[in-house]
Structure 1
Amino acid sequence: MNLHKLLSDREQQGRPIRVGLIGAGRYGTMYLAQANNIPGIHVVAIADINVKRAQGAFDLVGWPKNQVAPDIATALENRSTTIVANADELFNVDIDVIVEATGNPIVGVKHALRAIEARKHIIMVTVEADALAGPALARRAEEAGVVYSMAYGDQPALIMELVDWARTSGFDVVCAGKGAKYLEHYHEMNPDNVWENWEFSKELTDSGQLNPNMHTSFRDGTKASIEMAAVANGAGLVPSDNGLTFTPGDVEEIATICRPASVGGALAHEGTVDVMSSVKRDGTWIPHNTQEGVFVVVKATNDYVSGCFTEYPWHPDPTGQYAALYRPYHYVGLELNMSIANAVLRGISTGSPLGFFGDVVATAKKELKAGEFLDGEGGYTVWGKLVSAKHSVAIGALPVALAHHVELRNDIPKGATVRWEDVIIDDSLAQALELRRETEALVAESVLTA
């Protein structure tokens, strides 16, 4: 509440929030489409190694040509925006907040560290980096006195908002989650057959506008696991070691499905995360499904509250003990400024890791042989499975974010977890490995916190 008033005050004072955006992909472009209509905001620079793509983003959103500057110095002086090919140019100039939207977990960790070292707030759109080393990055940001935040508009931050609502209202969180389309064979999906599992026209898939690796990750379970790991770490919730259930159901069934198996639900325990499928196992779409939405399930604290659940149209479970709050949509980059404003004006995040509770581990899509190279999220070799961080560290599991271009030492059966001992790690990953080790070291205290 009142963020717009605070932004308007900054506008009147001539002190706009100075934003540096790294990555001119879909998310960054969506934010640019809104930025000129928000008081108190000055997008100083967009960094993208593909300068042509960044220029194309300007064209897509109708960015005024008289607001395009030749360099950062001019952009700061004239309240205009420039494009740079190297993100390093953003860290040593007068910028308040960095938005990391590259989608690359290794690069994302690097940029977050640079921002923290430069005492700039960091909004981590690249949730893959957050799942890999977010707990350590958040710890470093806190020590540096800056905000490390999930990006509002993406589902994890919106789920965190619902979790905060629940706990602030006095409820215990039983489950936090989202909806997504899921069928059992999706874990075997790869870029060659990905379009068989989407509803796009052949004209669109043949056009080259869509990234087959990205859309494989969206459907093979990896992206859902990464997003729910971010929620688990941000909310102190513990995933099941068996992964997400992807149980089919509609909006009215959220509280019935996302409750413990001991009372008829699908969960291994309370205080966890899960994803519901928007289609039945035969592929039939479920009317009023949870696709694109987010939810939190809470438990009645006493009989009076249980009575309230059944008296109001809150879609409780059959026992009247569990109820859900549901938001049916997310506006992605169009909502990003909520994170930027909260970080700079209030010094708070829209979701940030409390500890290390959930991890996304590389899981073989097929029989893998020693000498093969893993190709990471959305590829042919592995998908990302969500497990508890305690379990991941105990078995020495390899995070899926580090399963890129690494060689196998050992054969891996289909469906098995790839472990650190199974791969040869490239020295070029030293920085990401350092942050990952810091994250894994937090598992003991995170388990105690949970």
Structure 2
Amino acid sequence: MNLYRLLQQRAEAGKPVRVGLIGAGKFGSMFLSQVPTTPGLEVAAIADLSPDRARAACRGVGWTEERIAATRFVDDAGAMIAAPNVEVVVEATGHAPAGIAHARRAIREGKHIVMVNVEADVLAGPLLAREAAAAGVVYSLAYGDQPALICELVDWARACGFRVVAAGKGTKYLPEYHASTPDTVWPYYGLTAERAKVGGMNPQMFNSFLDGTKSAIEMAAVANASGLTPAPDGLVFPPVGTHELAERLRPGNEGGLHHAGQVEVISCVHRDGGAVKNDLRWGVFVVFEAPNEYARRCFAEYGVVTDASGRVSALYRPFHLIGLELNVSILSAALRKEATGAPSGFRGDVVSTAKRDLRAGEVLDGEGGACVWGKLMTAGDSVRCGGLPIGLASRVPLVRDVAAGQAVTWEDVRVDVGDEAYRYRRAMEGVFAEG
């Protein structure tokens, strides 16, 4: 409730919160658009593989030439992180191995790290968060992205004394989407390839949202940060409207939950493609339960919408503003020394799963590609089966066949055991194996 007041104090003292941004893509650009209207917040430097593209992004969101000239643009993220005038690092590349390297460098340099890169967070976030805590810096999920918003709702419910029954987000889902590839993705969005190209839309990125991978990644992040857990068979994607959340998302209900305290994603369409009434395609939710009879009566007295028992209700937010809300994480880290969600354990994982029969010698093409989609699993099940994390499934050759629908394992691929991201991930599995 007081972030803006704290920021004003920094502005009045002439000590603005200075940010180093890595990656000036869509998320980064949305954040950059808010900087001119946030006194006390400055972007000291932007690291991007193409500094000229980053400058163009700044112009595209309305920055003045004066502001652009006062900002350092570099292609060396490591050097930028080490710069003494950077207080908070925002990692927005979307590349999991790079995200791990950047986060570890920020931690070593004593900088707070806001991890927009949820792929990196799911790959090794629990160990990164532990490393950051030991160094006395904040490691945080990115507010505006759905995982942090879900964690906020979960935190609200628990702080009020309610038991959390379920939490998650909405999306558009049909079972056939799991087999989608970058070559087949655009008709599902009602677009032609030509139109998408004109709009600068990346088919592999959009396919990762469609084929279920992004939903799995985001729910794994929520599980690791909140203590909620996935169902044993992963996401079910039940078609549920906001008016049905409390009634449908309960253990034992048809199409409902496997257990209380579960992460789940709900679909805005029924399995026949028909629209769900009061859908939550762009939003997030938490389902919670009154702890006693008195609280149940209060629900009735104050018009709370509940299930038939009167004890279970739901709170939801119908949309999220992505990078336009990122300031909340940056300011929370810098001014409160508090994360807007951070992994506290290794509970959920996302395992590469064959979209079709794969043959030895093929090279996997990563998240959103033509070979695999990411399936949400409990961390225990993932480690026991030796599942290949989706964050390390790019440019990896298969050494044996994998049937459609089967998990790809470490033994199915040839990995570079000297790769730093691989070694850090395996180290995390070892550290959290007991839990």
Specify if TM > 0.5.
yes
Q: Distance in 2 between matches of 1:199 and 1:336?
A: 30
Name 1:93's counterpart in structure 2. Answer: 83
Return 5+ residue gaps in structure 1 as ranges: 70-79
Distance 2:194 2:300 in 1: 49
Partner Cα distance (1:10, 1:200) in 2: 47
Matched with 1:36 is 36
The correspondence for 2:224, drawn from 218, 224, 233, is 233
Give how far 1:306 is off: 2.4
Alignment match of 1:431 (pick from 408, 413, 420) = 420
| Change over 3 Å in CA distance of 1:61–1:309 after alignment to 2 | same
Structure 2 CA distance for partners of 1:345 and 1:313, relative to 1, 3 Å = same
Match 1:316 to one of 303, 306, 310: 306
Q: How far off is 1:47 after superposition? A: 0.6
CA offset digits 1:3-37 (Å, max 9, x no partner): 10100010000000110000000011001100111
Q: Of 95, 99, 107, which residue of structure 2 is paired with 1:116? A: 107
Question: Distance in 2 between the 1:175 and 1:356 partners?
Answer: 18
Following the alignment from structure 1 to structure 2, what is the Cα–Cα distance between the partners of residues 118 and 14?
Answer: 23
**Residue identity matched to 2:172:** K
Q: Report if the CA contact (8 A) 1:19-1:97 is conserved.
A: yes
Which residue of 2 is the match for residue 14 of structure 1? 14
Establish whether residue 328 from structure 1 lines up as the match of residue 290 from structure 2: no
Distance (Å, rounded) in 2 between the aligned partners of 1:27 and 1:441: 33
Q: Which of 372, 380, 385 is matched with 2:375 structurally?
A: 385
2:119 corresponds to: 128
In structure 1, distance between residues paired with 2:216 and 2:275: 22
C-alpha separation in 2, matches of 1:271 and 1:174:
5
Cα distance, 1:265 vs. partner?
5.5
What is aligned with 1:75?
none
What's the secondary structure of 2:286's corresponding residue?
A: strand
Q: Distance in 2 between matches of 1:303 and 1:354?
A: 32
* Structure 2 Cα separation of the partners of residues 169 and 442 of structure 1: 33
User: 387, 395, 401: which is aligned to 1:397?
Assistant: 387
3-state SS of 2:20 partner:
strand
1:74 paired residue number = none
Taking structure 1 as the reference length, the TM-score comes to 0.94
SS in 2 for 1:216: helix
**In the TM superposition, what is the alpha-carbon distance from 1:322 to its structure 2 partner?**
1.6
Q: C-alpha separation between the residues in 2 aligned to 1:203 and 1:223?
A: 24
Letter in 2 for 1:108: G
Residues 385-409 of structure 1: per-residue CA shift (max 9 Å, x gap): 0010011111111111111111111
Please say if residues 186 and 192 of structure 2, whose CA atoms lie closer than 8 Å, have aligned partners that are also in contact.
Answer: no
Structure 2 match to 1:258? 249
In 1, the alpha carbon distance for the partners of 2:156 and 2:394 equals 38
Distance 1:208 1:416, change over 3 A: same
2:335 aligned partner: 345
CA apart distance, 1:319? 2.3
Matched AA of 2:30: M
Whether the 8 Å contact between 1:360 and 1:384 is mirrored in structure 2 is yes
CA separation in 2, counterparts of 1:444 and 1:102? 29
Tell me the SS of whatever aligns to 1:91.
helix
Matched letter for residue 105 of structure 1: A
Q: Which residue of 2 aligns with 1:106?
A: 97
- Given candidates 198, 206, 221, the residue that maps to 1:207 is 198
- Judge conservation of contact 2:55–2:68 (CA < 8 Å) in 1: no
Amino acid of the structure 2 residue aligned with 1:437: R
Q: CA RMSD in A?
A: 1.4
> Residue 66 of structure 1 aligns to which amino acid in structure 2?
E
- Matched with 2:144 is 153
How far does residue 308 in structure 1 lie from its aligned partner after superposition?
3.0
Deviates more, 1:240-249 or 1:281-290: 281-290
Match of 2:179 among 173, 188, 195: 188
Alignment partner of 1:289 out of 273, 279, 284: 279
CA contact (8 A) 1:256 1:265 kept: no
Please identify, of 416-425 and 199-208, the stretch whose mean Cα deviation from structure 2 is larger: 199-208
Cα deviation, residue 206, structure 1: 3.8
1:419 aligns with 2:393: no
Cross-structure match for 1:72: none
Give the Cα–Cα distance (whole angstroms) in 2 for the partners of residues 319 and 156 of structure 1. Answer: 29
Does the 8 A contact of 2:166 with 2:263 survive in 1? Answer: yes
Change (3 A) 1:251 1:313: farther
Cα deviation 1:270-301 (Å, max 9, x = unaligned): 11100000011111222320111001111221
- Is the CA contact (8 Å cut-off) linking 1:393 and 1:440 kept in structure 2? yes
Structure 2: any 5+ residue segments left out of the alignment? none
TM-score norm. by structure 2 comes to: 0.97
Cα distance in 2 for partners of 1:82, 1:62 equals 17
Query: Is the contact made by 1:256 and 1:264 (CA closer than 8 Å) also made in structure 2?
Result: no
Q: Distance in 2 between matches of 1:444 and 1:92?
A: 33
Residue type at the aligned position of 1:82:
R
CA distance in 1, matches of 2:180, 2:99: 26
Matches within 5 A, 1:270-285: 270-285=260-275
| Counterpart-to-counterpart distance in 1, 2:197 and 2:24 | 23
1:91 corresponds to which letter in structure 2? I
Output the amino acid matched with 1:338: V
Query: Structure 1 residue 266: deviation in Å?
Result: 1.2
For residues 336 and 54 of structure 2, the distance between their equivalents in structure 1, rounded to whole angstroms, comes to 30
Pairing of 1:74-89 with structure 2 (within 5 A): 80-89=70-79
Is contact 1:355-1:442 (8 Å) kept? no
